[in-house]
């Protein structure tokens, strides 16, 4: 019987692998957006495929997909809040505000996760961690400062900010619902499989209800990007992220979201021609140094 091998993985891998994957998804998502398939349907197909892949992984591990009824209620809430509400809000927010501002707001998950973890489980957070995390968030803000400074000139910027903040809160709440279930002894893979499945059904149902239909693009760029986003961006990245959260705490795991924009811009420079400014380079340096300090073991 194949067991859960994640316990053998070093902590640095649990941190850096999701960073690399989610940084690359910023570029891969462009192939989804270039398709005529509506966003609701695309994200729905992504999480439906993710759910099926996770079910297959559970079978390979010899893990039952059965969950108690109360756990299904948590999984349903997680699917609707995190995998449907969060992703929908991010896509909609970027219609009104720059993606850089959304990235900076998502960095606030570090502090939200720390606060909720303390309230729920009294997990301590050091002053050094909070100070260093603040420096990392400031670094990300400097990277995207030109975009952020121009936000006020955009129509409906307030709506974009509200959607972005909703997405952050949804990600935090959904993440803690998952951790509540795993801390009760339920295996992670079935929890993720059901949560993403519920989120997919909700998204596809909403796409039908709003008249967008269930379109699908059989072109290879769409299919290949969909498979990558489902297999790597959802199954592998979320599994490793939650394993890191279980091992090091939700606040430490949220630092992944601080480093992702930095690596994503490096990918953008290589594939999309993005050119770094001196302010962006300084912000990257501040972010990396701050992350090094935040993740150092306590003396």
Domain hosting residue 206, numbered range: 40-295
Query: Does 21 fall in a domain?
Result: no
Query: What does pTM read for this prediction?
Result: 0.87
pLDDT at residue number 193: 98
Query: Does 64 fall in a domain?
Result: yes
pLDDT at residue number 105: 83
pLDDT at residue number 181: 95
pLDDT at residue number 207: 94
- Could you give the number of structural domains in the chain? 1
Q: How far apart are CA 262 and CA 131, in angstroms?
A: 19
Percent of the chain exceeding pLDDT 90 equals 52
Mean pLDDT to the nearest integer, 210-218: 94
Flag the least confident range among 41-45, 84-88, 268-272. Answer: 268-272
pLDDT at residue number 58: 96
Query: Does 63 fall in a domain?
Result: yes
Query: Does 1 fall in a domain?
Result: no
Higher pLDDT, 147 or 195: 195
- pLDDT confidence tier of residue 298, bands split at 50, 70 and 90: low
Query: Does 158 fall in a domain?
Result: yes
Question: If you average pLDDT over each of 152-161, 258-267, 268-277, which comes out highest?
Answer: 258-267
- pLDDT confidence tier of residue 205, bands split at 50, 70 and 90: very high
pLDDT at 56 over 80: yes
pLDDT at 92 over 90: no
pLDDT tens string 22-35:
988 878 888 888 89
Query: Does 3 fall in a domain?
Result: no
């Amino acid at each position: 019987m194949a067991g859960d091998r994640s316990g053998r993985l070093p902590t640095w891998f649990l941190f850096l692998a999701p960073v690399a994957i989610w940084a690359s998804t910023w570029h891969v998502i462009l192939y989804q957006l270039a398709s005529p398939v509506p966003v609701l349907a695309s994200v729905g197909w992504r999480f439906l495929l993710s759910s099926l892949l996770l079910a297959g992984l559970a079978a390979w591990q010899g893990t039952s997909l059965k969950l108690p009824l109360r756990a299904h209620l948590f999984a349903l809430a997680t699917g609707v809040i995190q995998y449907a509400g969060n992703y929908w809000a991010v896509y909609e927010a970027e219609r009104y505000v720059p993606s850089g501002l959304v990235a900076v707001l998502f960095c606030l998950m570090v502090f939200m996760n720390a606060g909720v973890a303390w309230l729920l489980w009294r997990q301590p957070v050091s002053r050094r961690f909070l100070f260093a995390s603040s420096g990392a968030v400031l670094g990300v803000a400097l990277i995207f400062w030109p975009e952020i400074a121009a936000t006020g000139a955009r129509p409906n910027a307030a709506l974009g900010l509200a959607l972005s903040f909703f997405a952050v809160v949804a990600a935090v709440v959904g993440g803690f619902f998952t951790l509540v279930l795993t801390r009760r002894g339920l295996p992670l893979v079935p929890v993720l499989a059901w949560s993403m499945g519920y989120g997919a059904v909700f998204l596809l149902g909403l796409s039908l209800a709003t008249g967008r239909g269930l379109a699908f693009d059989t072109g290879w760029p769409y299919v290949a990007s969909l498979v990558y986003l489902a297999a790597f961006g959802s199954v592998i990245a979320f599994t490793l992220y939650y394993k890191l959260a279980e091992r090091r705490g939700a606040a430490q795991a949220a630092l992944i979201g601080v480093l992702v924009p930095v690596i994503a811009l490096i990918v953008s420079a290589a594939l999309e021609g993005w050119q770094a400014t001196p302010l962006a380079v300084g912000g990257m340096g501040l972010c990396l140094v701050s992350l090094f300090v935040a993740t150092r073991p306590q003396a």
